[in-house]
Amino acid sequence: MDMIRDATAPSSNLPDHLPQALREVLEAHGCVADALYTKLGIKITEAGAERVTGTMPVEGNTQPYSMLHGGASLAFAETLASIGAIIHAGPSRLALGAEVSATHHKSTRSGLVHGEAVALHRGLTSVTYDVTVRDAKQRRMSSVRVTCAIRQR
């Protein structure tokens, strides 16, 4: 599975915005609709083993100062990387988060943030993604590195 785009018929289990092929992979892995990415309002716009992109609203994901919460940024980045890792792993293997590290450069108070996870390493037992989170003006908000372990089901 190289690249997954375009949502088609909605699945009864996962959000309608997810591309149909991605919903099928996630459902095959037993993923559920009531996951953190749904609560954070994350939308996946492109998904493949090499690159995953998406958006997340700032509203509802803020800390007490009404700025985007760093933990929300981390969850967003890990979600994007994990989707790439799941696609890379395929139906016979699992992708499990192993390490996340981040630097938050700035924050924002409104709009959508945009994320892009790009594969740095895709091996048999691990994958690593470089994730950039940007604001609506394309300013870098966070730089995140995510590694997932790949295991047999």
Q: Which residues are catalytic?
A: 78
- What CA–CA distance (Å, rounded) separates 143 from 140? 7
Residue 43's φ and ψ, nearest 5 degrees, are -120, 130
Give residues with Cβ within 8 angstroms of 73, minimum separation 6.
102, 104, 113, 133, 141, 142, 144
HSE at residue 85, side-chain half, CA atoms within 13 A, is: 29
- What CA–CA distance (Å, rounded) separates 76 from 20? 21
Residue 11 CB coordination number (10 Å): 17
Tokens 């995140």 correspond to 144
